Structure 1
């Protein structure tokens, strides 16, 4: 009976299915984040009776809260996930949280209920990002990591496109509940995909046998290494329990891990990249609906199409951008991307501003704004996902130097919890910055501030990002 495998084990544990399930999960999380943006004004003003003059303030507060909760949730999620031998259960819990949070937002009878649903959504989203990217890094070798991350970011971008585009269109064409039915269906499909998925190795007879060893035998997570120490340390007459020593030593290793990682300038640069990209995207999401309504008088459908123009080039170009990073390194494409974004962001702020009468005309202003948005979306893949790839490169390098400190599964959980902290910090900082600048000095000067941040990030990326990763030694096939 020990040789019995789960039903359809081969394809349920295939790397293709695992990676596909992860990318669908990331798609669902970003779909939910962007879904609310175009219809939030309708929810606040029509359903909850908020004065339109306070819409931008509530929008900023809601998006900032989302980022703050993700910021404090990510380390907790990583800590709890480290204690489980499989990441499937944390993924399912995260998805259930997403479903409940989405339902609460859709049904929200008051502002506090809206915020509570968004908080639950943010906590669950942090779990999806941390565990999902850790699983992805565990199942892809280093030489294909950039391309795989690029493809994952394509799905992330597809969620960012699909969310605001579909919600605004469905709201204007079919009504409120028709709009909310779609994300709930997406979440149900994602639950099914995660129930079907088996992590490679966890359902195999060898793994099942190792998990059914006597109580005196110790093992640690998914690491096969402790089996060697079992034969030496499992003597029942011993007065010292090896598990007790290991727990104490593991805490020391965890502190040493973060000390080593956060003293590496490549890691700090990667995290800065994550924060800036997240700030930029969440800041634009925060102010774009109100700005377009004020500047051009557009409603939810046309506003949704602008999100579509921003994100669709991302879907098409994320994969090629990842391939380019694998071929020529991270530094060059990233620096080029940040520098190219500076004039495009400035152009984005000119239509509708009195300082630029040549861009103030109705037709000219709309054309300049739309063209700038499409160009910005075409450049974004060069800088999005860079932080995650650079962090994964650093971890794989350090694993080769010190496998004991940087065990693969736990190390990836920790590094992507750092990524999620950076992402959430940007999700909090971006709306705070753009919302306050938009209300104080206007949309154009807000874009000037964003352009300055892009220039600083270009300089930092040039100094510290990797060029080409060193080739890996051949690994035995799993």
Structure 2
């Protein structure tokens, strides 16, 4: 029997880097899709299925979504820690998917509020696991040359999931009914499960080599003489490598990592602030209803979806500093411009509407160049550290903990952003709320210039030839 005969069906494409990356990206898409999927259905569930008073809908909706984010925030570091202790990504992916499907069914069938909350908790735990393990799978299988392209493309699919989830559920609920709407979520989970079953993991470079301690010990034994010699510990040319150090201690004392976390936190706060303040402002200022608001949010996502691969290629070629810094610096005055209609004598007529739409278009374009920048820099730092010391974060690396760490500031920003922007808008007005966001964008531009120094492939190649 030949080696090819012993391999399972479709081994070549099932174990290919492209298929594994596509499977991980699909998982990221499905996690974001399911997060927003329930939002348009919640009022129907609470008021029709559970027969609650409509006056409780807003409060319960806020409670359920906050609970989802809080559970994900608390559980992510623990999930990432244990995920890095396992040599395989496929098993945890399948387990997370099973938990996600169970949580989805529990939410859809909930006969009481407490069951709905239990389903949200299970779904949140499963979604955090999906994100962490899927992102770690992505990082495991991306090489240095295509790091920017792959991560930016993945962020495009994440943006598509965030937008498509509520759009699909609202559309199906209105046209086909409650259970046909949930069938779309279950179908996506089934396809995701099938892709993960088909995926065949290939050993990473880390797994192909023996651990550093064993390798040093084997080399020392091969060179040892037949008769023992007196020990000279100080002259040992092959000392045993140091034990793995604490991942979070190393990360949180690195200024580039701290700047990356701030970048992710600040930009997620800006995104969440739009969700909180924009619908009410455009209704009061311009008289726009739900359809124009939906088109606005769609327009904000289009540049990220359309330009994701191109932005990734740009990062791979020239590095991270210039695109991120320039985009954040441009976003600051655009956020201020967004607040002008209705303030300082600027009218809210066609001129004001034109200014507002132009500012939004510019902000959407800037977001395409800033989204995922913090994660890109963190990946670069971890790759450099593990290249210098492969045993630094343990035998299976630290990619799962990297994923959990990158998700942490995003979740905090999505929770804190609405609170801060809503408070500023209520007590100081929409103008000063946008001014605060502009200051935050300017601060991100400054830290990006100083600390987001991940270089492009061409720069590294030139330096290597010198």
TM-score range, shorter chain: 0.7 to 0.9
Conserved? CA contact 1:335–1:461, under 8 Å? yes
TM-superposed CA distance for 1:27, in Å, is 0.8
Of 228, 251, 257, the match for 1:261: 251
Of 395, 398, 402, the match for 2:389: 402
Distance 1:107 1:289 in 2: 31
Larger CA Rg, structure 1 vs 2: 2
Taking the TM superposition and a 5 Å limit, the aligned residue runs for 1:214-225 are 224-225=210-211
| Counterparts in 2 of 1:369 and 1:57: CA distance versus 1, 3 Å | farther
- Give CA deviations for 1:319-365 in whole Å, capped at 9, x if unaligned: 111111122211111111112222333444455x5x3664434x666
Residue in structure 2 matched with residue 340 of structure 1 by the alignment? 330
Residue in structure 2 matched with residue 360 of structure 1 by the alignment? 348
Distance 1:10 1:269 in 2: 40
Residue in structure 2 matched with residue 312 of structure 1 by the alignment? 302
| Counterparts in 2 of 1:448 and 1:11: CA distance versus 1, 3 Å | same
TM-superposed CA distance for 1:22, in Å, is 0.7
Of 260, 276, 280, the match for 2:270: 280
Residue 165 (structure 2) pairs with residue 163 (structure 1): yes
TM-superposed CA distance for 1:115, in Å, is 3.5
TM-superposed CA distance for 1:53, in Å, is 6.7
Residue in structure 1 matched with residue 231 of structure 2 by the alignment? none
Residue 456 (structure 2) pairs with residue 464 (structure 1): no
| Counterparts in 2 of 1:172 and 1:99: CA distance versus 1, 3 Å | same
Residue in structure 1 matched with residue 289 of structure 2 by the alignment? 298
Q: Aligned pair count?
A: 439
| Counterparts in 2 of 1:367 and 1:57: CA distance versus 1, 3 Å | farther
- Give CA deviations for 1:64-110 in whole Å, capped at 9, x if unaligned: 33332222111111122123221111111222232233333334445
Which consecutive unaligned segments of at least 5 residues does structure 1 have? Answer: 208-219, 235-248, 474-478
Taking the TM superposition and a 5 Å limit, the aligned residue runs for 1:382-421 are 382-406=369-393, 409-421=396-408
Of 79, 93, 97, the match for 1:91: 93
- Give CA deviations for 1:169-228 in whole Å, capped at 9, x if unaligned: 3344444444333222211111111111111239xxxx9xxxxxxxxxxxx977633664
Conserved? CA contact 1:335–1:462, under 8 Å? yes
Distance 1:434 1:228 in 2: 55
Conserved? CA contact 2:83–2:400, under 8 Å? yes
Residue 122 (structure 2) pairs with residue 120 (structure 1): yes
Residue in structure 2 matched with residue 135 of structure 1 by the alignment? 137
Conserved? CA contact 1:24–1:190, under 8 Å? yes
Which consecutive unaligned segments of at least 5 residues does structure 2 have? Answer: 222-239
Normalising by structure 2, we get a TM-score of 0.82
Conserved? CA contact 1:130–1:413, under 8 Å? yes
Instruction: Report the more deviating stretch, 268-277 or 100-109.
Output: 100-109
Conserved? CA contact 2:244–2:394, under 8 Å? no
Conserved? CA contact 1:359–1:368, under 8 Å? no
Distance 1:250 1:2 in 2: 40
Distance 1:364 1:43 in 2: 41
Distance 1:50 1:344 in 2: 42
Distance 2:423 2:64 in 1: 14
Distance 1:446 1:117 in 2: 35
> 3-state SS of the aligned residue for 1:410?
coil
> 3-state SS of the aligned residue for 1:263?
coil
Q: Please tell me the root mean square deviation across aligned C-alpha atoms, in Å.
A: 3.5
Conserved? CA contact 1:154–1:318, under 8 Å? yes
Distance 1:48 1:271 in 2: 40
Distance 1:403 1:374 in 2: 44
Residue in structure 1 matched with residue 66 of structure 2 by the alignment? 64
| Counterparts in 2 of 1:314 and 1:42: CA distance versus 1, 3 Å | farther
Instruction: Report the more deviating stretch, 35-44 or 450-459.
Output: 35-44
Of 433, 437, 440, the match for 1:446: 433
Distance 1:53 1:443 in 2: 26
Distance 2:379 2:270 in 1: 23
